[in-house]
Amino acid sequence: MDEREKLVEIDRPCAETVPRITDAQRDVLAERRRQVEAEGWTPEHDDAHVKSELAQAAASYALAGIRFELPWPSSWDFKWYKPATRRRNLVKAGALILAEIERLDRASLNPKDNNKGEWL
């Protein structure tokens, strides 16, 4: 085996070690897609929420049924808060966290939007 073949072999993961996507991961990604396609919460829309509103909404869903006082963003109409089952709430929370992380990543790529990356 030459050097190139050795590198290819080293880089080739074993089938047993390649994690398959879990139901939870699939559901969070599907919810994020639904948020974009059905609700219109596109990346451009998300980029306007620079005061951690997406993370606050995620926290509200993650804490639904656990905390009485929810950290729902004060600038958002409460009609958008639609709790469901514990698992469904966590899926919504995961999708909102994903949206916030992606927003932060986009903000970090644009130097003139430096103040839109972190609010603390």
In this prediction, residue 120 carries a pLDDT of 41
Low-confidence ranges of the chain (pLDDT < 50): 119-120
- Amino acid residing at 100: E
In this prediction, residue 37 carries a pLDDT of 97
Taking the model in full, what pTM does it have?
A: 0.77
In this prediction, residue 118 carries a pLDDT of 53
List CB contacts of 86: < 8 A, sequence separation 6 or more.
64, 65
In this prediction, residue 19 carries a pLDDT of 75
The two three-digit tokens of residue 36, written as one number: 């974009």
Longest distance between any two alpha carbons in the chain, whole Å: 64
